[in-house]
Amino acid sequence: MTPGSCISTQFHSPTFLAIALYQAAATLGDIAYKEAADRYIAFYFAALRHPPAGGCRLDHPAYPFQYGMALAAYESFRRQNPDETWLDAKAAAVVEWLLTFRWDEGS
């Protein structure tokens, strides 16, 4: 990950950027925005990995919101690309990975 004040190093941005780009594509009628959104989501899914045993570690940061945001991105992607199924298996894995963060201590 690249540190910097203008670069999100914890995967805060790709989902929000993709959703905004989909909206820009719909508003402006420019397919280039949709294609860019698709690429943001493809990048996000390619970068996600199984969370480490025991949760977050310094050498492998993993936070529940990253997996939840991936599912929000997946939902937007499927709305825009209803016939595309290539992310389905990874989305199913993300659901399973997100479940590893469950705990019995309440919210």
- Supply the pLDDT for residue 63: 78
Instruction: Name the domain count of the chain.
Output: 1
Determine the number of helices (DSSP H) and then strands (DSSP E) in the chain.
4, 0
Question: Please, are residues 70 and 12 in contact by the beta-carbon 8 Å criterion?
Answer: no
Q: Read off the pTM.
A: 0.80
SS3 59: coil
Structural domain includes residue 88: yes
Tokens (6 digits) for 80: 């825009």
Other CB atoms within 10 Å distance of the CB of residue 105: 4
Q: Name the one residue in this structure whose structure tokens are 């945001």.
A: 69
User: Is 105 inside a domain boundary?
Assistant: no
pLDDT in tens, 39-84: 999 999 998 888 877 666 556 567 788 889 999 999 999 999 999 9
The whole-angstrom separation of Cα 53 and Cα 43 is 24
Between 13 and 72, name the one with better pLDDT: 72
* 106 assigned to some structural domain: no
In a domain, 86, yes or no: yes
| Containing structural domain, residue 89 | 14-99
